[in-house]
C-alpha cells in the first residue's frame, strides 16, 4: 500500500520540478503574435500563430479620402487568429467611410476560408490629441460589426505623458492596445524609459518589438505587471 502511494507523489514532484525549470517568459512566449507588414511574402509568414496582416494605408487630406493597397493579398493562410491592419495617415478620417473599406477586406479574406478575428488601426496620435482619438475610436467601434474585435497600436509617449483617464477610456473602447517600442527598423531611443512606464501601467496592454532585437530582459520586467498580456513581433527579413 505504501509503494502504491509513493508513485503518485513522485509523479507530482517531477511535474512541479519541470514547472520550476520553465523560463520566466514562458507565459509571454505562449502569447506571442506577429505583424506581417508590406514586403513580407506569404511563404515567410509564421504559421499557426496570431497574425496582424497589413492591408494598406488610409489617408485623409482635407475632404478627400485616399486608400493605398499594400501587404499580402487575401489568400489561404494557416493561422490561429487573423487581424487585418490598416495604417491611418494625416487627419483622422470619418469613421463611416473607413468602416466600409476595412470590412470589405474582411469579406475578401473570408472567401479564402480565412476567419478574421478583428481589425487593427495603426495611428500615431499625438499625445495631446488622445481625447479626440478616443472619440473617433468610439464612433468606429459602434459601427464595426459586433463579430469583429478592435485592436489598436499605441505610442510609447502615451504611456509617459498621456492622461490616464483617457487611456482607460481607450482601453474600454478597444479589445487591445499594443504599444510599439520601435521606430522604423530600430528600437525606440531610451527604450528603457518606456518599459519602466509600461511596468506600472494600469490598463491591459501588449508590447510590440522588432523580431531581430533582443527583448528578453524587457519581458522579464513586464511580466511583473498583471496588466501585461503578451508581445507582438514585427516580422523582419
Task: Label each residue of 21-64 as H, E or C.
Answer: HCCCCHHHHHCCEEEECCCCCHHHCCCCCEEEEEEEEEEEECCE
Q: What tens-digit pLDDT sequence spans the chain (237 residues)? A: 434 444 443 334 333 332 233 333 333 344 689 999 998 888 889 988 999 999 999 999 888 899 999 999 999 998 999 999 999 999 999 999 999 999 999 999 999 999 999 999 999 999 999 999 999 999 999 999 999 999 999 999 999 999 999 999 999 999 999 999 999 889 999 999 999 999 999 999 999 999 988 999 999 999 999 999 999 999 977
Q: What are phi and psi of 25, to 5 degrees?
A: -100, 20
Task: Indicate the pTM of the whole model.
Answer: 0.86
**Rounded Cα distance, 83 and 55, in Å:** 10
pLDDT tens-digit readout, 19-51: 233 333 333 344 689 999 998 888 889 988 999
What the block records as the C-alpha cell of 165 is: 483617464
By residue count, the chain amounts to 237
CA angle 193, 196, 198 (to 5 degrees): 110
Domains of the chain: 25-234 (3.20.20.80)
Amino acid at each position: 500500500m505504501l509503494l502504491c502511494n509513493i508513485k503518485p507523489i513522485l509523479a507530482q514532484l517531477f511535474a512541479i520540478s519541470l514547472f520550476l525549470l520553465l523560463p520566466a517568459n514562458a507565459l509571454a512566449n505562449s502569447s506571442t503574435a506577429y505583424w506581417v507588414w508590406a514586403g513580407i511574402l506569404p511563404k515567410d509568414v509564421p504559421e499557426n500563430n496570431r497574425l496582424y496582416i497589413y492591408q494598406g494605408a488610409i489617408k485623409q487630406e482635407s475632404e478627400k479620402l485616399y486608400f493605398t493597397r499594400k501587404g499580402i493579398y487575401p489568400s489561404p493562410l494557416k493561422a490561429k487568429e487573423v487581424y487585418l491592419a490598416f495604417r491611418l495617415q494625416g487627419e483622422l478620417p470619418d469613421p463611416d467611410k473607413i468602416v466600409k473599406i476595412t470590412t470589405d477586406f474582411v469579406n475578401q479574406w473570408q472567401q479564402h476560408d480565412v476567419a478574421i478575428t478583428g481589425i487593427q488601426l495603426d495611428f500615431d496620435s499625438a499625445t495631446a490629441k488622445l481625447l479626440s482619438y478616443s472619440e473617433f475610436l468610439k464612433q468606429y467601434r459602434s459601427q464595426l460589426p459586433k463579430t469583429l474585435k478592435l485592436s489598436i497600436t499605441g505610442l510609447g509617449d502615451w504611456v509617459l505623458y498621456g492622461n490616464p483617464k483617457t487611456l482607460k477610456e481607450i482601453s474600454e473602447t478597444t479589445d487591445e492596445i499594443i504599444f510599439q517600442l520601435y521606430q522604423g527598423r530600430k528600437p525606440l531611443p531610451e527604450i528603457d524609459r518606456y518599459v519602466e512606464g509600461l511596468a506600472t501601467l494600469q490598463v491591459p496592454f501588449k508590447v510590440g518589438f522588432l523580431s531581430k532585437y533582443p527583448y528578453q530582459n524587457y519581458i522579464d520586467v513586464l511580466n511583473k505587471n498583471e496588466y501585461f498580456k503578451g508581445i507582438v513581433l514585427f516580422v523582419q527579413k
